[in-house]
Amino acid sequence: MKLKLDENGNVVLVDGKPVYIHDDGKEIPFDAARTVETISRLNHEAKTHREAKEAVENQLSEVQKQVKVFEGLDPEAARKALDRLKDIEDGKLIESGKLDEVRNAAKTEYETRLRQLQDEFGTKEGKLMAEREALQGHLNNEIIGGSFARSKFIADKMAIPTDLVQAAFGKHFKVEDGKLVALDAQGNKVFSRARPGELADFDEALDALVQQYPNRDHILKSTGASGTGASASAGGSGSGSGSKSVTRQQFDQMNPVEKMNAVKTGVAITDE
């Protein structure tokens, strides 16, 4: 990355911001003030999160100490056991031979009720977890799918339908804390070039992913005809006839399998 200079050797400015030329040739103004502000904000957020985490951990430790005293104790069974002990102390159980009977009955009742509660809790917990995962998956699909459907980059730049773009690049997007995050081929988050320190928005991230795709020239809209003079028939797959290009109308008439085969084999899509 280097500064862009004019013919006199002066730094080129856009809206008062110096322009940098990245390794791939893209020119992006660098907003130093916003970058410093972003770094300061991220440092403050990191400190706040760390302090909050430490406070929660301290509170949790205190609660665990207090709860440990009652570990394994069922409140209802304990209350019944105390009531029976009170009866014994009051002399209501006159025959001493019934003391063991009461103890065994209380133990059996406690163990039975404990098993019932554990079974009920396990069933409810499993159901809630399944519902939560299903709801989260549906929400993620809506967020990711909606981003592809509304993408201006796809509408303006891509030569293939939105569903094929999502099929090819959808695996690079996921939802974290309700926000859409893009990942490159190495699994690293894609950050914005125009807004240093911040994650790239959907269209900027998709643009970066497409630029890394080896056959990008075949899925981006062509600036003109290929010059070969050949075209694939509307009913063919576009892969076995030797054609190198098809018109947009011909491509739209293909079924999904034929469209995918055309893209994989490098058929260019041109405007009529």
Please provide the average confidence, as pLDDT, over all residues in the chain: 78
- The H-or-E segment that residue 174 falls in is strand 173-176
Query: Quick one: pLDDT at residue 69?
Result: 67
What pTM, to 2 d.p., does this model score?
0.43
Most confidently predicted of 42-46, 54-58, 156-160, 231-235 = 156-160
Q: How far is CA 67 from CA 88, 102, 223, in A?
A: 29, 28, 70
Query: Quick one: pLDDT at residue 209?
Result: 93
Residue 154 pLDDT class (50, 70, 90 cuts): very high
Q: Residue 161: what residue type?
A: P
Query: Quick one: pLDDT at residue 251?
Result: 80
Query: Quick one: pLDDT at residue 95?
Result: 55
Domains of the chain, by residue range, sit at 2-30, 222-272
Inform me whether the pLDDT recorded for 54 exceeds 90: no
Distance CA 164, CA 210 (A): 13
Residue 252 pLDDT class (50, 70, 90 cuts): confident
Query: Quick one: pLDDT at residue 230?
Result: 34
Per-residue pLDDT tens digits for 83-101: 777 766 655 555 555 667 7
Inform me whether the pLDDT recorded for 204 exceeds 90: yes
- Residue 178 has φ and ψ, to the nearest 5°, of 80, 0
Beta bridge partners, 245, equal 268
Query: Quick one: pLDDT at residue 169?
Result: 93
